[in-house]
Amino acid sequence: MSNVTVASPAKINLSLAITGRREDGFHELISLVAPLAFGDELRAGLVPAGSVNEEKTTLACETPGVPLDGTNLVLRAAEVFAAATGWRRAVQFTLIKRIPIGAGLGGGSSNAVAALRAMEMLSGHVLTANERLALAAGLGSDCPLFLHDGPLVMRGRGEQLTPLPEEASARLRGRRVLIFKPVFGVATAWAFQTLAARPEWYASAAESEAALSAWMVDDAATPDQLPENTLERPVFAKWPALPVMLAWLRERHGLVGRMSGSGSACFAWLSADADADAITATIREGWGAECFVCGSVGNAATRTWADSPQLTSMWESISKSDVSKFIELVATDKELMHSRSADGRGPVFWAYEFGEQDILALLLSDNVDINIEDENDKKPLEFYTKGSVADFEAAAKGKVDEMAARLKEAVTVRTTAKAAVEEEEEEEEEEEEEGAAQAEKPKVDL
**Residues known to be catalytic:** 11, 142
Whether the upstream peptide bond of residue 260 has omega within 30° of 0, thus cis, is no
> Is residue 97 helix, strand or coil?
coil
Degrees, nearest 5: CA angle 170-204-29: 60
Q: How many CB atoms lie within 10 A of CB 51?
A: 11
Cα separation of 210 and 136, whole Å?
A: 29
DSSP 331-342: HT-HHHHTEE-T
- Residue (of 295, 300, 297, 298) closest to 283 by Cα position: 295
SS3 letters for 198-253?
CHHHCCCHHHHHHHHHHHHHCCCCCHHHCCCECCHHHHHHHCCHHHHHHHHHHHHH
In a 13 Å sphere around the CA of 137, the CA atoms on its Cβ side amount to 15
Are 203 and 120 in contact by the 8 Å Cβ rule? The answer is no
Instruction: Give the chain's length.
Output: 446
